[in-house]
Amino acid sequence: MTWFPLFAAFLVAIAFLFLLPPLLRQPRIAAEAASRKASNVAIFRTHLAELELEKQGGELSEEAYEQAHRELRRRLLDEVGDAPAGAQSPQLGGPSRKMALVVALLLPLGAVAGYWILGNTRALDPVAAMQPEKLTPEQIAGMVGKLAQRLEDNPGDAEGWLMLARSYRSMGQPEKAADAYSKAGAVVFESPDLLTDYADLLAMLNGGSLNGKPMELINKALHLDPDHVVALWLAGTAAFNGKDFSTAVIFWERALKTLQPESEDAKMLSEGVAEAKKRAGFKADPKKSVSGRVALSPALGASISPNDTVFIFARATDGSRMPIAISRIRVSDLPFDFVLDDSSAMSAENILSKQARVLVLARVSKTGNAVPTAGDLESEAQTAKIGQGGLNIVIDRVH
């Protein structure tokens, strides 16, 4: 509800207070005047009767009677005026009451009609007022064109380039959208959402192929967020299109873990997994994994939250910092029995079953990001053979 109608009604009421009382007061004054005249006439008649009695009784001479009679008439005329004016005065109240009625009706009606014609009636509807007016395609194109021109003069505005990229994509112009992403700079490489959107655009321009730069962007997204559902979906799609059906199953099954089981996306992805397994004759090899238990040192328990993220991952022994396989849990899950295998792979090109040895470690991240930052808690890296179990990983130090 809007306060405007209440405020307008308040103003109309104030106007009534100023306009109606004078109009309604005139009938009362006229009535009082008429009553006073009637009283004076009655007094005149009484005095006149007394004069008649005194004349008939011989108390007044004819000359004295006439003089007293003239004096009475003069005084009556001074009090009430002449007879015709007095006859009209009672009628003064009639037009005033009619005028008051006209004002009472026409003032609010005139105000409503004036606002309806000249005002903003849409503002009286709070829901309509909150809804922005729909822009025409021409208006949208004009706004996007102005944004593009502004960015040409200010090419360092990364957020502006991202806005322009999204605008071009919504307008069905993938070439311009991809170009805007390329000019947004480092901000794109800090967000899995932006990386996957950029990769999808490039694949669209490349006939649907995710090979090359699109796959590089997808791998960067998975490095930032190993469970990013779009990145996993695209990585599985790239593997499936390359006829690497086993790897497609790995990525898609990881993506399924992040989706609601009854959602349409989950149903579609489940069908893809079933098809990939059928084509691959898929059989998981339980020996191509490393496993063990991760625990937290009691000395560090007070410095973290139960909801902080814990990453358990394996990386190559050649010094590469890029994880090969990764699993994500929460501090509240500790101690935790883990298994890292090909279903935990970070990329299609580098999976656990292709390794001989790996380094296994765990890290608590307060930011939820797989990239280590100062202040994270972590364990010592342990070397393990593929197929080895019984590892004991303890998070006991600050990164």
In a domain, 285, yes or no: no
Cβ atoms of 55 and 91 closer than 8 Å: no
Residues 149 and 257 grouped into a single domain: yes
Tokens 């814990």: give the residue: 310
Q: Structurally, how many domains does the chain consist of?
A: 3
Alpha helices, H only, 119-244: 126-130, 137-153, 158-170, 174-184, 192-205, 213-224, 229-241
Residues 109 and 188 grouped into a single domain: no
Residue among 334, 325, 327 nearest 307 (CA): 334
Residues 71 and 152 grouped into a single domain: no
**Residue 370's domain spans which residues?**
290-398
pTM of the model: 0.50
pLDDT digits (tens, 9 = 90+) for 16-73: 666 656 655 555 444 555 556 666 666 666 666 666 666 666 666 777 667 776 776 7
* pLDDT value, residue 1: 47
Given 128, 160, 180, the domain boundary residue is 128
pLDDT digits (tens, 9 = 90+) for 197-255: 999 999 999 888 999 999 999 999 999 999 899 999 999 999 888 888 888 888 998 89
* pLDDT value, residue 301: 74
Cβ atoms of 189 and 222 closer than 8 Å: no
Cβ atoms of 211 and 196 closer than 8 Å: no
Residues 321 and 249 grouped into a single domain: no
Q: CATH number of the domain at 201, please.
A: 1.25.40.10
CA gap 386, 349 in Å, rounded = 17
* pLDDT value, residue 311: 92
- In Å, the largest CA–CA distance within the chain is 157
Task: Please state, rounded to an integer, the average pLDDT across all residues of the chain.
Answer: 78
Given 227, 245, 280, the domain boundary residue is 280
Whether a cis peptide bond, with omega within 30° of 0, leads into 21 is no
In a domain, 335, yes or no: yes
* pLDDT value, residue 67: 73
Residues 163 and 237 grouped into a single domain: yes
